[in-house]
Amino acid sequence: MMEDYTNVLIHAARVGNLEVIRELLNRGVDVDGRDEKGYTPLLIACYNNRSEAAELLLESGAEVDAGDYGGNTALMGAAFKGLPEIASLLIRHGANLDSQHGNGGTALMFATMFGRNDVVKLLLESGADTKILDTRGQSAFDLAMQQGNEEAISLLA
């Protein structure tokens, strides 16, 4: 029965409905329950820029580094979407800066590839490893060069 509520919790996280999130967590719904793609409520809240919902989920014990079935973490999602406030929240809650998804990509690589230079700066200031290579042997610097992302090139150099 409780797994029926997982999708309700994920929807509440998507729209940032704090009352529903609190009620479901109080009823014992798993804060890290997953949908069919492996998304947790935290991943969905972060991807949809719902910082208050993300904070509530983290304070309720959500796993900050939980990945979807492709290995994408909330921090990678924030880097991909260019959400520095969400990225900062996750880092404050101890997110692993250097997690790698299935193809070896990191949050720093996502931020670099998609020109999210405010997130690139934040990740670098927080100590993200610039030497990690993806499965093709590319570093964040290589990706910045390929994208012609001048700001990221200078930040990473």
Token pair belonging to 8 = 């309700």
Residues 141, 116: Cα–Cα separation, whole Å: 14
- Domain that residue 43 falls in: 1-63
The answer to the question of residue 38 being in a domain is yes
The answer to the question of residue 150 being in a domain is yes
pLDDT band at 1 (very low <50, low <70, confident <90, very high): low
Q: What per-residue confidence (pLDDT) applies to 60?
A: 98
The answer to the question of residue 128 being in a domain is yes
The answer to the question of residue 3 being in a domain is yes
Residue 103's CATH number: 1.25.40.20
The answer to the question of residue 69 being in a domain is no
Our CA angle for 57, 70, 72, nearest 5°, is 45
Number of domains the chain contains: 2
Residues 63, 85: Cα–Cα separation, whole Å: 18
The CA R_g of the chain, rounded to the nearest whole Å, is 16
Residues 126, 78: Cα–Cα separation, whole Å: 15
Residue keyed to tokens 């909330």: 74
Amino acid 21 reads I
- Residues 71-117 have pLDDT tens digits of 999 999 999 999 999 999 999 999 999 999 999 999 999 999 999 99
Both 104 and 59 in a single domain?
no
Both 113 and 150 in a single domain?
yes
